[in-house]
């Protein structure tokens, strides 16, 4: 990040953050008897986080002697086991457990249960239920306070349960595949970055987060060197979050901060209700594969805490990020068995869309407005790959 004062009378700063992740994982399969399988495994991950910063003078030059380096780290160790058994061709049972040992957040046991039914040769019903655990990332915990963003060392990990049910059906001699899924999530302490009344983004724990939804998909083909895949997802989400009525930062230690809020349930931030994806793939007899992809994302709501008439009174203001469509095109040509030439264009029509909102100040007028950060525009990639 780099901040320079355009009026030439204030200093700025420059900072950069490095995340390094090292890990190792091992798995072992055992078949103790017919139609049974047991999986054992373990993994270890080490997270090395470092932030470096330096002050800038009014011209943007680095100020010698102001270099600052901050380091932090954490590690996780997991062991897991899973048992599968199919007593007959119509039924399969699965049960597993993972033990998570986190250097900062302690131990957590995560069970998972699943049943798979095959009532007909081309019909499958899958049911699963498991526990959810997600620890804050190093960026969530340690991100430095630069006046615009800061981490939160007081975060708690996400915990909860998830349930999924999926029906799969194959028709017309494997030419048509249909899937219908239902999912439910119930999460406590969900981690979400959001701004305070000063516009500073920081991760917070929500009290609760629930999501119910369904997904319908189909894959048709191949017919005449073509396949068509369509997926629609509906998600109904609810978050229980703070609605601040007062954010008084005080003057510590003489005057301590005074933050007042009520808990409210509302549609979850950043989450679209409707999503659609379509893929059309065509391959020629001379090794050329063409893929056309279209995506649709419906509108998303965002909530900002803003000053209500005068400091320190605050209110919650709802903003909407509009829905959007994008279209991608990918061409792949195989050459001489081992070479693959690929040309890919993303967002071909250069559709404008927002990813999240923030406040911006006009340098000429001093007026502050809330605007969206733009998503990626049109981009083209050329890739040459050698396979052996």
- Whichever domain contains 343, its CATH number is 2.40.170.20
- Over residues 319-331, the mean pLDDT reads 95
Q: Which of 42-56, 163-177, 187-201, 249-263 has the lowest mean pLDDT?
A: 187-201
| Domain span at 151 | 2-386
Q: Are 71 and 47 in contact (CB under 8 A)?
A: no
Quick one: what percent of the chain has pLDDT higher than 90? Answer: 71
Is the pLDDT assigned to residue 6 strictly greater than 50?
no
Q: What one-character-per-residue DSSP string does 326-361 give?
A: EEEEEEEEEETTTEEEEEEEESTT----EEEEEEEE
pLDDT of the residue at 350: 94
Q: Are 331 and 348 in contact (CB under 8 A)?
A: no
- Over residues 214-225, the mean pLDDT reads 94
Mark residue 199 as left, alpha or beta (left: phi above 0; alpha: psi -120 to 50; beta: remaining).
Answer: left
pLDDT, tens digit (0-9, with 9 covering 90-100), for 264-275: 999 999 999 999
The band of 216, judged by pLDDT with boundaries at 50, 70 and 90, is very high
Cα angle value 296/356/375 (rounded, 5°): 55
pLDDT of the residue at 10: 62
pLDDT, tens digit (0-9, with 9 covering 90-100), for 100-126: 999 999 999 999 999 999 999 999 999
Mean pLDDT of the chain: 91
pLDDT of the residue at 200: 79
pLDDT of the residue at 9: 55
pLDDT of the residue at 197: 66
Higher pLDDT, 113 or 146: 113
Is the pLDDT assigned to residue 284 strictly greater than 60?
yes
Is the pLDDT assigned to residue 5 strictly greater than 60?
no
CB neighbours of residue 182 within 10 Å:
14
Is the pLDDT assigned to residue 7 strictly greater than 60?
no
Q: Are 45 and 21 in contact (CB under 8 A)?
A: yes
Give kind and range of the element (H or E) at residue 262.
Answer: strand 258-267
pLDDT of the residue at 181: 98
Mark residue 225 as left, alpha or beta (left: phi above 0; alpha: psi -120 to 50; beta: remaining).
Answer: left
The band of 96, judged by pLDDT with boundaries at 50, 70 and 90, is very high
Is the pLDDT assigned to residue 1 strictly greater than 60?
no
Q: Which two tokens mark 143?
A: 């991100």
Before 57, cis peptide (omega within 30)?
no
pLDDT, tens digit (0-9, with 9 covering 90-100), for 27-41: 999 999 999 999 999
- Over residues 137-143, the mean pLDDT reads 93
Cα angle value 242/246/247 (rounded, 5°): 90
Number of domain units in the chain: 1
């Amino acid at each position: 990040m780099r901040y320079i004062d355009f009026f030439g009378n204030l200093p700025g700063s420059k900072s950069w953050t490095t995340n390094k992740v090292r890990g190792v994982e091992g798995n072992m399969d055992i078949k103790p008897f017919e139609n049974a399988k047991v999986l054992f495994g373990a993994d270890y991950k080490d997270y090395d986080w470092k932030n470096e910063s330096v002050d800038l003078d009014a011209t943007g030059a680095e100020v010698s002697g102001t270099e600052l380096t901050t380091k932090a780290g954490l590690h996780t160790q997991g062991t897991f086991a899973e048992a599968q058994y199919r007593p007959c061709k119509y039924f399969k049972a699965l049960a597993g457990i993972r033990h998570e040992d986190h250097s900062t957040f302690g131990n957590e046991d995560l069970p998972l249960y699943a049943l798979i039914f095959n009532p007909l040769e081309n019909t499958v019903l899958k049911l699963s239920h498991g526990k959810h655990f997600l620890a804050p990332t190093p960026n969530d915990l340690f991100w430095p306070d630069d006046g615009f963003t800061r981490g939160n060392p007081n975060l708690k990990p996400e915990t909860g349960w998830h349930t999924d049910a999926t029906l799969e059906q194959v028709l017309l001699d494997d030419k048509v595949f249909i899937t219908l899924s239902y999912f439910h999530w119930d999460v406590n302490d969900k981690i979400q970055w959001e701004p305070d009344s000063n516009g500073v983004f920081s991760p917070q724990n929500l009290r609760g987060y629930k999501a119910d939804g369904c997904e319908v998909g189909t894959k048709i083909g191949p017919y005449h060197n073509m396949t068509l895949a369509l997926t629609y997802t509906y998600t109904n989400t609810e978050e229980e979050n703070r609605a601040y009525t007062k954010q008084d930062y005080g003057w510590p230690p003489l005057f301590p901060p005074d933050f007042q809020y009520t808990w409210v349930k509302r549609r979850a931030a950043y989450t679209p209700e409707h999503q659609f994806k379509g893929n059309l793939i065509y391959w020629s007899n001379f090794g050329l594969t063409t893929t056309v992809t279209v995506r649709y994302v419906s509108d998303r709501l965002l909530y900002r805490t803003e000053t209500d008439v005068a400091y320190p009174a605050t209110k919650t203001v709802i903003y909407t990020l509009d829905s959007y469509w994008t279209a991608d095109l990918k061409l792949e040509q195989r050459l001489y068995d081992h070479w693959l030439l690929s040309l890919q264009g993303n967002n071909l029509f250069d559709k404008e869309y927002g990813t999240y909102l923030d406040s911006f100040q006009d340098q000429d007028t001093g007026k502050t407005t809330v605007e969206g950060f733009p998503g990626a525009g049109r981009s083209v990639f050329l890739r040459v790959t050698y396979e052996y």
